[in-house]
Structure 1
Amino acid sequence: MKIRQIRAFLAVAEDLHFRKAAERLGLTQPALTLAIQALEEEIGVPLLQRDRHDTKLTFAGEVFRGDITEMLASAEQAAERVRRASAGMFNYLKIGFISTATTARFMPRLISEFRRIHPQVELGLQNHVNVDLLAMIESAALDVAFIRLPLVTPHRVEIASVYKERHVLLLPADHPLTQQPSLRVRDLQNAPFIMYSRRNAPGYHDLIMRTLNSNGINPTIAQEVGEMYTLVALVAAGIGIAVAPISARNYNLPGVVLREASWLPAAEIGLAFRKDDSRPASRLFIDLALRTRRENEAASEDEAPTDPSSPAAAALTRRDAAEKE
């Protein structure tokens, strides 16, 4: 049974007139007749009753038309899905993210650009904490996810760094240290800290703790939190000091003062995905994320002072030395 035979039958069934159906299909009337006869021979029953004056559907033809119309629509939809998938234009892409991927504004811009380039790909977005995102990538509940680095990567998962920004210190607005023109590491000794929960992001929690410890700070942990917004809110409430990506300022909470600390490591966001995911929509999104990262890095290099004797570089060196004292 061929698609052209089915289309020929449906055209005749609709018009109940061989000449009109043949014209609509762009066929000669003998060719249309042969297609219908071949279909009837294959099925084994007559589908049309015709004489010199009239063409009618047999009872078998009525049944066949109802069933085959749905089957033809499904076949055409399947063919279109295959064509779109082959061109990388079809799929439902499931994207997970941590909340700070949105405040950094890298992810919203990336998704907006992807939708502009590939409007046929439907996107589904889900916000979760780090450990949940990683598990969902591994189980294929998500296709890609923006995750806070560092973390231990499962064997089936690959993670590419796609965004970097500075870490800063967050202080309550009424904290005595906000009155100092610059902060030294020793000023933070014995200060109560609000920490991001190790249960939600063990690698990130350990990075911050190692950094504090290696600089001689053994923080008193006043509170652990599972969301970056909560961390900033508790700083605003005066519960303690915190380390956070600089994009946390985009929460725009009053009562929080940001202070630079060059001894803090960079804050990184990675894009996690399964190594064996070869679907075009996933690969297109990953490729765009990596290309955007490279473009951002090139722009940052163009803006950075390269001459170590320049006033800007000298000022940074003096500030770093002062902060370490």
Structure 2
Amino acid sequence: MDIRRLRYFLVVAEQKHFTRAAEKIGIRQPPLSMQIRQLEEAVGAQLFTRHAKGVELTAAGRVFQETALDIVGRFEDALTQVRRHAAGQTGRLRLGFAGATYFHPAIPLIIRAYRSAYPDVVLSPEQSNTPALLAGLREGRLDVAFIRPPVLEDGLLSVRACLDEDMVIALPADHALRDQDAVPLDAIAGENLILFPRDIGPGLYDSIVSACNEAGVSPKLGQEASQIVSIIPLVAAGFGVSIVPRSVGSIRNEGAVYRPIAGQSPRAPIAIATRTDDRAKLVTSFVISAIQTARRTAPADSTSESG
């Protein structure tokens, strides 16, 4: 017994007439009558009483109709779910966020826009550092990750530029430079520079050190923070100064202020990484949505300053 015969049976039961049912289905009447006879043989009972004006369900036919409606309904639901999943409209997407990327003002907009377009997709977020997230992608524990480039090209990962922002100087609230509108990098020469370990964000770390060197400053590395978000409490406590992505300025701490960098500022790009061989609609639809939303977002450089 196949689902097609059940559908034919339900249409005949609805129309109470073989010719009208055949027209609605889009086949000729004789093949439809044959399909119903074969169905009756398969179930071992007469489902219709035939008469001059059409057909009526027998008692067995009425019982079978209830079951057929349930089976066809479940089958249609299953088809819909499979098709929506194949189209990337349902399922679970495992997202990674590295190096305080979630502080960038465009990231919540990206997530909100995607959830609005795909409300039945469950998002499972994970916060870590870039190397750990890349390992998670390679091992299949993550589907998409917002990371801080550059990434070593190994053929296993696909990396697309998404967002960019400049960096600012984080100072203790009582620092002598706090009243300047912008602070040149050479003004913090000799200061203890608080950074995170290079191995958790090599791209961002190297960008900061390179900018200092180009400004003629040899960074005096001080207290090391376990991660980017841990830097601000250390600055507020007077352990030194730091250079952080502008969006980190959304971390409010009375003991710290943020000032733009005078002259050339190091950049803090954000990229979207996926597995090269992952062509699931769920993943590609997220990447496309994220890139489109990012392009509509105002530059991060225009975000407000604090302090």
Instruction: State the TM-score bracket (shorter-chain normalisation).
Output: 0.7 to 0.9
Q: Secondary structure at the match of 2:277?
A: coil
Give, in whole Å, the separation in 2 of the partners of 1:102 and 1:207: 19
Match of 2:244 in 1: 244
Give, in whole Å, the separation in 2 of the partners of 1:181 and 1:295: 29
Alignment of 1:1-325 (within 5 A): 1-7=1-7, 11=10, 22=16, 27=21, 34-41=34-41, 43=42, 46-47=44-45, 55-57=58-60, 72-73=72-73, 75-85=75-85, 88-98=88-98, 100-116=100-116, 118-129=117-128, 130-178=130-178, 183-214=183-214, 215-226=216-227, 228-261=228-261, 262-296=263-297
TM-score (norm 1): 0.71
Contact 2:166–2:267 (8 Å) recurs in 1: yes
Q: Secondary structure at the match of 2:80?
A: helix
Counterpart amino acid of residue 21 in structure 2: L
Moved more, 275-284 or 163-172: 275-284
Q: Structure 1 pair 46/160, CA: closer, same or farther in 2 (3 Å)?
A: same
Give, in whole Å, the separation in 2 of the partners of 1:125 and 1:181: 40
Give, in whole Å, the separation in 1 of the partners of 2:153 and 2:34: 63
CA RMSD of aligned residues (A): 3.8
Give, in whole Å, the separation in 2 of the partners of 1:256 and 1:294: 31
Contact 2:97–2:127 (8 Å) recurs in 1: yes
Give, in whole Å, the separation in 1 of the partners of 2:165 and 2:119: 32
Contact 2:196–2:226 (8 Å) recurs in 1: yes
Give, in whole Å, the separation in 2 of the partners of 1:47 and 1:140: 53
Moved more, 287-296 or 190-199: 287-296
Q: Secondary structure at the match of 1:266?
A: coil
Counterpart amino acid of residue 122 in structure 1: V
- How far apart are residue 20 of structure 1 and its match? 6.2
- How far apart are residue 32 of structure 1 and its match? 7.0
Q: Which runs of 5+ in 2 are unaligned?
A: 23-28, 51-55, 303-307
Give, in whole Å, the separation in 2 of the partners of 1:248 and 1:160: 22
Q: Structure 1 pair 113/49, CA: closer, same or farther in 2 (3 Å)?
A: closer
- How far apart are residue 70 of structure 1 and its match? 7.3
- How far apart are residue 120 of structure 1 and its match? 4.6
* Percent of aligned pairs with the same amino acid: 28
Give, in whole Å, the separation in 2 of the partners of 1:242 and 1:259: 11
- How far apart are residue 148 of structure 1 and its match? 1.8
Deviations 1:100-144 (A, max 9, x none): 33321111112222333x235514131322222212222333222
Counterpart amino acid of residue 264 in structure 2: W
Contact 1:172–1:256 (8 Å) recurs in 2: yes
Contact 1:151–1:204 (8 Å) recurs in 2: no
Give, in whole Å, the separation in 2 of the partners of 1:149 and 1:123: 27
Give, in whole Å, the separation in 2 of the partners of 1:293 and 1:219: 36
Greater per-residue helix proportion: 1
Q: Secondary structure at the match of 1:196?
A: coil
Q: Structure 1 pair 231/7, CA: closer, same or farther in 2 (3 Å)?
A: same
- How far apart are residue 54 of structure 1 and its match? 8.9
Deviations 1:272-316 (A, max 9, x none): 1122232333223222333344445xx66xx9xxxxxxxxxxxxx
Give, in whole Å, the separation in 2 of the partners of 1:237 and 1:114: 39
